[in-house]
Amino acid sequence: MAVQTLDDLLAEGVSGRGVLVRSDLNVPLDGGKITDPGRIIASVPTLKALADAGAKVIVTAHLGRPKGGVDPAFSLAPVATALSERLGRHVQLAGDVVGTDALARAEGLTDGDVLLLENIRFDPRETSKDDSERLALAKALVELVGEDGAFVSDGFGVVHRKQASVYDVATLLPHYAGTLVAAEVKVLQQLTSSSERPYAVVLGGSKVSDKLAVIENLATKADSIVIGGGMCFTFLAAQGVSVGTSLLQEEMIDTCRQLLETYGDVIHLPVDIVVAEKFAADSPAETVWADSIPADKMGLDIGPESVKRFTKLLSNARTIFWNGPMGVFEFPAFAAGTKGVAEAIVAATGKGAFSVVGGGDSAAAVRQLGLPEDGFSHISTGGGASLEYLEGKTLPGIEVLN
């Protein structure tokens, strides 16, 4: 991409300058504790490089979806603590976004200091559809770093959003792609342009509608598309199979039928399913053939025969993109499908395949199921952004850097 990078900024010199960094620190919390620090870890290299070079680093990020106002449940306080530990230096947390506390702390920064602003989404202007409202917030953010400041975009998970801290600030300051964003775009360019064949795509998750554009765009590029997760039941229904009480998008059945008619030699569906009476960790599981799902049961994972067939497909692949779990991996009884397919991708990677995990639940599954993160070529931090890029959409947060 014809974009200035962090290396360009460091070459110019940042000592004593204010640098605004948009990071993606949107980590899952449970009772105030971070359950998966993946995005924090991924944000560290850019922040560390800037702080080590003497910049006054001001970080902006969001957490969860507060409804356009301050909500203590979504405070970045636990993130500031975790970021301090990972950076090996104290990270201050401002008590507001661009208010008096943020201003006072920004003015008091010395070279190498790191300040994290409170959840950017506590300010409703961040996600406003009104350009002038977003621009007003962007100007307030720019004030914090001063006239000779710079902007580094390093939150790949939000580059598909036209938001004040992602898009508008880049129109006001010299702008650069951080380590993470530059790496993500390079990987996605490789997936869409110079993929080595055979190219296999593994798609899971609950809804066909979420992945429809990706299926349509990649069906002409990939040699095989493996489908699992809740979305497979709409495809099975399109084949005339009864899916019991499984997750089903009835309005998508016709679309799935057309996809199977057009790309039937590319799309691969499960042949067996792990079913249960209810969506619960302790619901007794049984494995049935995909065309024999009992009327009173729901599919919660792909079965062992499907894992075997998908593994065979993946074993020959030279390029693999995986987005979405094969089943309800959070419940041990329904995690084998996701684990089996993930292990097949790790094995293919070990034989030289280029493999990309497309963020979101897939990245969480890798860590939760104890799979080696270095067993994949790349684990993306941005599920939605990855998918939109692969759909062929323009990402506002990338476009504005060009």
Domain boundaries, the chain: 6-181, 195-390
Mean of the pLDDT values across residues 128-134? 97
Mean of the pLDDT values across residues 66-79? 93
Closest CA to 259 of 288, 234, 278: 234
Note the pTM of the prediction, 2 decimals. Answer: 0.87
Q: Is the pLDDT reported for residue 77 higher than 80? A: yes
- Residue in 229, 230, 360, 397 annotated catalytic: 360
Tell me if residue 39 is catalytic: yes
User: Residues of the chain with pLDDT > 70: what percent?
Assistant: 100
Of 136 and 191, the one with more pLDDT: 136
User: Residues of the chain with pLDDT > 90: what percent?
Assistant: 84
User: Domain 6-181's class?
Assistant: alpha beta
Q: Is the pLDDT reported for residue 236 higher than 90? A: yes
Q: Is the pLDDT reported for residue 5 higher than 80? A: yes
Question: What is the C-alpha separation between 120 and 154, in angstroms, rounded?
Answer: 15
Tell me if residue 384 is catalytic: yes
- Residue in 17, 22, 39, 56 annotated catalytic: 39
Mean of the pLDDT values across residues 94-105? 98
Is the CB of residue 266 less than 8 Å from the CB of residue 219? yes
What are the angstrom distances between the C-alpha of 65 and each of 36, 62, 73, 120?
Answer: 18, 8, 10, 10
pLDDT tens, 316-359?
999 999 999 999 999 999 999 999 999 999 999 999 999 999 87
Residue 300: predicted pLDDT = 98
Tell me if residue 360 is catalytic: yes
Binned at pLDDT 50, 70 and 90, residue 361 comes out as: confident
Structure token digits, residue 17: 């300058």
Of 137 and 196, the one with more pLDDT: 137
Residue 153: predicted pLDDT = 98
Q: What is the DSSP letter of 99?
A: S
Q: Do domains 6-181 and 195-390 have the same CATH topology?
A: yes
What are the angstrom distances between the C-alpha of 207 and each of 211, 227, 228, 246?
Answer: 7, 11, 11, 12
Mean of the pLDDT values across residues 152-180? 97
Tell me if residue 125 is catalytic: no
Mean of the pLDDT values across residues 37-45? 93
Question: What is the C-alpha separation between 273 and 269, in angstroms, rounded?
Answer: 10
Residue ranges of the binding site: 24-26, 39, 62-65, 121, 161, 211, 299, 330, 359-362
Residue 208: predicted pLDDT = 86
Mean of the pLDDT values across residues 6-30? 96
Residue ranges of the binding site for substrate: 24-26, 39, 62-65, 121, 161
- Residue in 207, 221, 309, 367 annotated catalytic: 207
Residue ranges of the binding site for (2R)-3-phosphoglycerate: 39, 121, 161
Fold of 195-390: Rossmann fold (3.40.50)
Residue 382: predicted pLDDT = 82
Mean of the pLDDT values across residues 52-71? 94
Of 340 and 380, the one with more pLDDT: 340
- Residue in 54, 68, 95, 384 annotated catalytic: 384
Residue 194: predicted pLDDT = 67
